[in-house]
Amino acid sequence: TSLIRQTQIDAHRLRLDQRVGKLCGTNYPASICFIVVNEFCERFSYYGMKAVLTLYFVSYLHWDKDLSTAIYHAFSGLCYFTPILGALIADSWLGKFRTIVYLSIVYVIGHVVKSVGAIPTIGDSTVHIALSMTGLILIAFGTGGIKPCVAAFGGDQFDEDERQKFFSIFYMSINAGSLLSTLITPILRGDVKCFDGDCYALAFGVPAILMAIALVVFIGGSGLYKRNPPQGNILLQVCNCIGFAIKNRWKNSKQEPQRKHWLDWADEKYSKRLIQEIKMVLRVLVLYIPLPMFWALFDQQGSRWTLQATRMNLAFMLNPLLILVFVPIFDFIVYPLIGLCRINMKKMATGMVFAALAFGAATLVEVNVVKTVVDPPPAGKCLLQVFNLAEGDVSMKTPDLFPEPIHYLQDPPEYKTLPLENSSMELKIEVLFKGNTSQCNQMFEQQKAYSLFLYSSTSGIQCKLVIHHLGLNKERYYIVFNHATVCGLLPASGFCRYPDVACCSQLDKCSTLDLGLLDFGASYTVILTEKAGQTVAHKMEDVKANNVHIAWQVPQYVLITAGEVMFSITGLEFSYSQAPANMKSVLQAGWLLTVAFGNVIVLIVAEGAGLEQWKEFLLFAGLLLGVFIIFSIMAYFYTYVDPDQLDKLYLEESVREEDDDKMKKKTNDIYMNEKRKNTRM
């Protein structure tokens, strides 16, 4: 029966190959065009939606940053945990083709629901939140469900010698979609106005259209695909087989082990073929155990590295662009040279080294970036800055932090740390101005930063203390002080706009101010005074601009991208090649789970370690180097297998077993005939 079934499958594949043909000048099947275009459109829709998702939470749903970040990462995690569900459906029930089609429909519906939730005129905030969460859940199940199926289904179309190049092209399509979407979608949100604001409905609607196109393109190639039929509920069989082997081994624990492998204890109930296939999968999954650490470093491009870039001069999307450049270079130059020189180099392990070096480079950049950073004060201390608005020099007697006189419209070059006796303390401040001493009492609290403004009045020097929020390294903001009325501090968005700052002391009297160059990463206080009926701005730099250029991030992006090319593409091909035919999607899902667990590692370290950023970068680099050593040892002892050879082996065994059965039946018939003859005699 097995021989007949295999013969029928081979004949079907031969007829399909003869009908499909190849792309011009290549050995690639024509069907691959539909798969690659499908993946490009799907990745465009996914990354395009994620590019504006956090801004949508903060500015549209009006969530705080902590809640927005939590929901964002929960959604990202779900997208990488659901592949196991898609693989189960594909391998045990619907097959890869129908699984991709049906879950893509769910995917499109999720995008549509998400886009509708971004239309302000539809319902209130509760309706918007409900639609948004429903859409995200559907998208997570859609994108996660088809992830392992598309890669494995594309691999099914190729012979062994061409499969590596397919995964390279496949990965290029992923990054091309990612690059374009992260450039285009934010433009659609910010530059196009709808409903009297940012057009999130359009920013989410375009990815929905791209996903619908991806579905149509994939279905369009349905007549050209090679399709391997599902093999039944294989995951349930695997779990039952493992459970039976453990149970049987435990029952016979007092006996001397007579089996080479613990799974062999299941051969009383399950076939040798299934047991051997499970061994293959488990050996690969064990090899996956160290891999999440690579993704823990790689995925920080969208978080830690982005935050690092915001403290420099410019943030830009470099990784997808480098991927498009590096993939053909590695495929046509690096890998052939490695093979020519007969260097036994494990590509995935080498990719880990590149990623660790990237974080070493990020550490060096971070050390230089933080030189101008003002860290929040520790417990028992606060930060203090003083601004002199009195028309003359002033000297601070207490606290003894500013020994030099402070000139008019000037401030000391940096914040000073003020020790406190308790969590809060009232301080008597004495100020000397034109030979007269003035005193004012101010209350200070620990772990806060303050700006103390000194201005003259008929009774002497007066003080005004204002809390200075230290969001200095994440965004630029300006403190504006109206000296004429000493009315307090106003944020720039409520008083002035930049550039072409228009400031008004009265509603009918406005002046246009030139604040000059405002460097990225710096923080300024702008003092506004009136002179001859005009408003004059005096700019003071509280936190110095960071002079570390964004170009210093290029080496770390180059290294991490080289590592990704060697690690991820090789891992995709390895996961496919080492999986039995009926478990390819399951093993692809296992590969994707390493990404999910990598994000879990980041959350644990980021929330639990409490390290300075450069120390955290160094920790991740060290951890990955340790994992590199462990993985290299594991890879050295790993023996590659050919699942196709396994099929042939068991096919030959089944033929021999059938022949043996026929021989036994023939021998038994002869014996029974002889016995009947003897009985009659």
pLDDT digits (tens, 9 = 90+) for 307-346: 566 566 554 555 566 666 666 666 666 656 555 544 345 7
Mean pLDDT of 540-553: 71
pTM: 0.64
pLDDT number for residue 660: 53
Question: In the structure, what pLDDT confidence band is assigned to residue 209 with cuts at 50, 70 and 90?
Answer: very high
What distance in Å separates the CA atoms of residue 504 and residue 510, rounded to the nearest whole number?
A: 4
- Residue with token string 């038994």: 668
The gap from C-alpha 664 to its chain's centroid, in whole angstroms, comes to 61
Statement: residue 406 has pLDDT above 70: yes
464-479 pLDDT per residue, tens: 888 766 543 333 333 3
Question: In the structure, what pLDDT confidence band is assigned to residue 500 with cuts at 50, 70 and 90?
Answer: very low
Mean pLDDT of 558-568: 84
CB 252 within 8 A of CB 267: no
Statement: residue 282 has pLDDT above 70: yes
The gap from C-alpha 290 to its chain's centroid, in whole angstroms, comes to 18
CB 556 within 8 A of CB 276: no
616-635 pLDDT per residue, tens: 889 989 999 999 999 988 88
pLDDT number for residue 672: 64
Longest distance between any two alpha carbons in the chain, whole Å:
145
Most confidently predicted of 398-402, 537-541, 557-561, 661-665: 557-561
Among 192-196, 304-308, 383-387, which stretch is predicted with the lowest mean pLDDT?
304-308
Which value, to the nearest 10 degrees, does the dihedral of the CA atoms of residues 400, 404, 383, 519 take? Answer: 180
DSSP, collapsed to helix, strand or coil, labels residue 301 as helix
Average pLDDT, the chain: 75
Question: In the structure, what pLDDT confidence band is assigned to residue 18 with cuts at 50, 70 and 90?
Answer: very low
Number of H helices, E strands in the chain: 22, 15
pLDDT number for residue 306: 61
| Mutual angle of helices 347-369 and 570-577, in 10-degree steps | 150
98-133 pLDDT per residue, tens: 999 999 999 999 999 999 999 988 888 899 999 999
422-444 pLDDT per residue, tens: 888 888 888 989 888 888 888 89
225-270 pLDDT per residue, tens: 888 777 666 777 888 888 988 888 888 766 656 678 888 888 888 8
What distance in Å separates the CA atoms of residue 680 and residue 644, rounded to the nearest whole number?
A: 54
